[in-house]
Structure 1
Amino acid sequence: MSGYIGEFTALLFLSLALGLDAFSVSLGLGMQRLRLKRVALIGLVIGVFHLLMPFIGIVLGQLISSQIGHLTTLAGGLLLVGIGCQMVFSSFNHQAKKIIQPIGVGMFLLAFGLSIDSFSVGLSLGMSGVKTLVALLLFGVMSTILSWVGMFLGRKVRGFLGVYSEILGGSILVAFGLRLVFG
């Protein structure tokens, strides 16, 4: 019985660690003027990607080497840097239309970039024999909840920071993307 509790606790902390990435980026996203329906949808999409990417990693873990994890992490980091830079630059030019917004394809690109590290975790989990369904559900639920919390806190901070909130939000995305790229 204590083995199951220990495994569940380890998976809970791992899902919290993966979800904190989504939280920090969502904090920046929440500083944009997003409607509550959009916040709910973004959180759900991020959660689904945090469920799907480790699943794909677990399935492909037997077929590919661990070297592919480094390439996907680099791609995800560069994607987040690009989105963050676009947010910062568009905050200086209020007439410029945003290229990437957290709607449509932009929302899926954002969720993909955030869940890249979950793919790498899935690769290693596939070889360790953990309870796959429990791990996937924890990853999805935790990242969804932390995304929502981050966006709601970002909405509150936006009121305090005013015009500078979009610069801060973009800076958070750039910083997280650079952390993925450079470790």
Structure 2
Amino acid sequence: MNLSATLLLAFGMSMDAFAASIGKGATQRQPRFSDALRTGLIFGTIEALTPLVGWGLGTLANQVVLDWNHWIAFVLLVFLGARMIMEGVRGGANDEEPCRRHSFWLLVTTAFATSLDAMAVGVGLAFLQVNILWTALAIGCATLIMSTLGIMVGRFIGPLLGKRAEILGGVVLIGIGCQILWSALGA
């Protein structure tokens, strides 16, 4: 695979994380760049690791992962999205509330759910002549950039949406989960 194909793949794989990051940035009250970078690092690291895992599984020809990865992503994203919607309906953030950071484990779970497609890509890459380490690194770097940007874009969208930002973030996560499931079942 040439450099341009690798970069296109990397940025394509980062789009789910970008959308989820916009939702997360919108639910935080004025996230700092350090919060955005933290999210980007978590998402990027997991997005870089999952194609490696997928490649390893692909070399073992483990069809089970391919058969179930879209269901796992769907369930995780719907669960996280529903949780965000319930928190938004209960009251959401109010103006006196200090800047809220998403927990490490919530970010890891979201990152894992949005990166399962990268694991499936890794399985496919096991059958091609690619340098999986460079490809995984490109995917991770693209996701780091896009997730960090997503949080910062969400920072500006959040104040416009007010208390509805958490609900919108949950809807985005559920939408990503449904899109992953639809793509897998429609293929």
State the TM-score, normalized to the length of structure 1.
0.88
Q: Which runs of 5+ in 1 are unaligned?
A: 1-5, 96-100
- Structure 2 CA distance for aligned equivalents of residues 102 and 177 of structure 1: 20
Instruction: Look up the match of 2:73.
Output: 76
- Structure 2 CA distance for aligned equivalents of residues 167 and 49 of structure 1: 25
- Structure 2 CA distance for aligned equivalents of residues 8 and 78 of structure 1: 34
The answer on whether the counterparts of 2:21 and 2:151 sit within 8 Å (CA) in structure 1 is yes
Instruction: Look up the match of 2:162.
Output: 162
User: What do residues 124-153 of structure 1 show as CA deviations (whole Å, max 9, x unaligned)?
Assistant: 111101122221111000011000111110
Question: How far is 1:105 from its partner?
Answer: 2.0
Q: Does structure 1 residue 92 correspond to structure 2 residue 89?
A: yes
Q: Which runs of 5+ in 2 are unaligned?
A: 93-100
One-letter code aligned to 1:70: D
Match of 1:8 among 3, 11, 15: 3
One-letter code aligned to 1:164: R
One-letter code aligned to 1:11: T
- Write the mapping of 1:16-31 to structure 2, written as runs, cut at 5 A: 16-31=11-26
Question: How far is 1:67 from its partner?
Answer: 4.2
| Runs of 4+ in structure 1 over 4 Å off | none
State the TM-score, normalized to the length of structure 2.
0.86
One-letter code aligned to 2:20: V
Instruction: Look up the match of 1:44.
Output: 41
- Write the mapping of 1:165-180 to structure 2, written as runs, cut at 5 A: 165-180=165-180
One-letter code aligned to 2:8: F
SS in 1 for 2:78: helix
The answer on whether the counterparts of 1:83 and 1:173 sit within 8 Å (CA) in structure 2 is yes
Q: Percent identity?
A: 28
- Structure 1 CA distance for aligned equivalents of residues 88 and 39 of structure 2: 21
The answer on whether the counterparts of 2:22 and 2:152 sit within 8 Å (CA) in structure 1 is yes
Instruction: Look up the match of 1:62.
Output: 59
Matched residues, number: 174
- Structure 2 CA distance for aligned equivalents of residues 73 and 15 of structure 1: 19
- Structure 2 CA distance for aligned equivalents of residues 65 and 121 of structure 1: 13
RMSD: 1.9
Instruction: Look up the match of 2:146.
Output: 146
- Structure 1 CA distance for aligned equivalents of residues 156 and 171 of structure 2: 17
- Structure 1 CA distance for aligned equivalents of residues 163 and 91 of structure 2: 10
Q: Does structure 1 residue 110 correspond to structure 2 residue 107?
A: no
The answer on whether the counterparts of 1:29 and 1:151 sit within 8 Å (CA) in structure 2 is yes
